[in-house]
A and B are shown apart, each in its own frame.
Chain A
Amino acid sequence: MSSSTAEFSGVGVFIEQRAGAIQEASLQLLGEGRKLADKLGVKLTAFMVGHRIEGIVYEPIYYGADRVIYVDNEACSHYNVEVYTQVLAELLMKYKPEIFLVAGTKYGRELAPSVAARLETGITADCTGFDIDERRNLVQIRPPFGGRVLAYIITPTKRPQMATARPNVFPTPPRDEGRRGEVICEEVSLVKPKLELVEFRKAALEELPIEKAEVIISIGRGLDKSDYRLAYELCRAFANSSVGCSRPLVDQGLMPRSKQVGQTGKSVRPKLYIAIGISGAVQHIAGMKDSRYVVAINKDPNAEIFKFCDFGIVGDYREVIPQLIEALKGGR
């Protein structure tokens, strides 16, 4: 990349769509992008890739973008990292935004570094905050080491300055159908990828995934496996709720990985997090510390979890949970 920094202007955000559904995480980043664009006094551009997406290309405008640049091609109908990397790399070389944000979905966390390497530029993963410094650099704020510290990172000389952010870190901006903007359809020449999709097996969504739940009932080693049903019963007492767990239960094959909260599992930010039989190890706290309210139930009065809770009950869950369920039924 021989272009100099000065040639890059504007904030770009990748709007990920799957089968015509725009990912909320991308819209959340669009909201942040809007703030950054306003601070810098530059345009906010949404970039979209897909097939037969004309129906949704105006959406980013309603959520705050000044313009949308998209590629509509059969080769892009389902996400493919080689194709999407090539498309984005070309678009970014053409439109040269100084900042390019990608939502940290599974695809995003793979696509973004791929594009960054292609463009030989800097990228920061899983940001929880952004700012602009006095030199108009993007300040990328992220929590390494299990979230006990915050690192402030800049990309002083390379462009675009790239970053990803996980879903639900930023709020979804309001949708304003009154907004207007430019929509540009681009053509890109595509190489045949060496990687192709054979099959996509959609997961049966029996339950709300924990990262989308408003209330999480989380279980730990302190529970006997024959008592897990108590957690599910308690879960039913709340709306928009899901059962999660700590790592040891997944390691022992007692619960699926999709339910693991923690450093090597998922980071969740529900409104209410009820931790049952969880000691409060650092790696677990890392995954749920941003919950709005935390309730802890544990037999051991010295369990670490009580330091991270708003309300705690020291007692045997086998007594507490059934009584709590009763109390909740009565309370309505």
Chain B
Amino acid sequence: MLNMVVGIKWVPDTADVRFDPVRGTLIREGVESIINPPDLNAIELALSLKEKYGGRVYVISMAPPAALKGLKMAVAMGADKAILLTDRRFAGADTLATSYALAAAIKKVGSYDIVIFGEETIDSATGHIGPEVGEMLGVPHVSYVKSVLNVDVASRVVELEREVEDGVEVLRSKLPVVISVGVGINSPRYPIPIRRLRAEVEADKYVETWSADTVGADSNRIGLQGSPTRVVKIIAAPMIERRREVHQHSREALSLLVRRLKEWEVL
């Protein structure tokens, strides 16, 4: 039996987010939010492990109430329970403050063997949460996990594979462990529609809402207060000016291209 906790993030569909250069802020209204894609792979991994070893899967998200939609989707995929960690005091948190809150919530869950996160988010893409939560829980953490090879539940040891630039590491760790998985390591199963309805209609059975007080969080370590880093300003990213010399395909166009390639010294 494995008790697993999956952390998910409810993110704006970044391709649709635009920037207001006058106010220097991001325009998020009208932008749909989605479950961060690698988090779907994290949920899928947890569910496959549950199928293999038995146990339970809790999904948790530190987010505003809008994230309930994503949490219910996770329940529909097969998670046993979803926890919305929400509190105005969490606002403005950087990765350290977020990891602190998540770690507090995971401790509150009680018994856990494997905590799974998506490698990084499509909005901030830091990859910090896995390692930071691992540190705060005082347990080993592994990023870029490709697959879980085996869990010896009795001896409380897990063997897994993770990918680095020049190869694959096979690691062995004592449980509990925090792992981060990349997008595409598996195919997230479809949220079962009837279960989506169930998660809506019988929400009290499947979804819990926790605040900072529920998890006994120290208010100095959460939200803006607990964030050592601070965004000072945001500007539109300068894009390299492109020449945009576009031609219909012809022999002449190709000769011109070869000339340019020579000019650019790439030949």
Contact = CB atoms under 8 A, between A and B. Distances in A.
A302 B19 CA distance: 23
Given A146-B15, A199-B170, A125 B132 contact: no
Interface residues of A, number: 93
B261 interface: yes
Interface string A263-300: 11000000110000000011100000110111110000
Nearest to A263: B122
Contacts of A296: 246
B257 A198 contact: no
A148 B254 contact: no
A312 B247 contact: yes
Contacts of A107: 164
B136 interface: yes
A213 to B, nearest CB: 11
B135 A114 contact: yes
A261 to B, nearest CB: 14
Given A109-B127, A113-B131, A144-B123, A198 B170 contact: yes
A293 B170 contact: no
Given A109-B127, A126-B126, A263-B122, A312 B244 contact: yes
A289 B240 contact: yes
Interface in B199-244: 227-240, 242-244
B141 interface: yes
Given A150-B235, A153-B232, A312-B244, A328 B264 contact: no
A310 B167 contact: no
Contacts of B19: 145, 148-149
Contacts of B99: 117
Given A110-B131, A198-B172, A310-B260, A82 B140 contact: yes
State the majority secondary structure of interface residues on B: mixed
B33 interface: no
Contact of B131 (A117, A145, A198, A250): A117
Interface string A180-207: 0000000000000111111111110100
B198 to A, nearest CB: 30
Given A116-B96, A238-B266, A312-B245, A146 B168 contact: no
Contacts of A120: 96, 228
A114 B223 CA distance: 20
A251 B140 contact: no
Interface residues of B, number: 83
Given A144-B123, A271-B266, A289-B240, A125 B245 contact: no
Closest 10 CB pairs of A and B: A315-B249, A122-B228, A117-B135, A312-B246, A122-B229, A158-B228, A125-B126, A113-B128, A195-B140, A117-B132
Contacts of B166: 18, 202-203, 205
A195 B122 CA distance: 29
Contacts of A324: 254, 257-258
27 contacts: A109-B143, A111-B131, A113-B127, A113-B128, A113-B132, A121-B228, A122-B96, A122-B227, A143-B237, A149-B234, A150-B235, A150-B236, A197-B172, A201-B167, A202-B166, A205-B166, A209-B165, A263-B125, A264-B37, A271-B266, A272-B264, A282-B15, A283-B15, A293-B260, A293-B266, A295-B261, A320-B254
B152 to A, nearest CB: 13
A85 B135 contact: yes
Contact of A148 (B126, B131, B236): B236
Contact of B165 (A106, A201, A331): A106
A152 B228 contact: no
Contacts of B122: 146, 263-264
Nearest to B128: A113
A264 B37 CA distance: 9
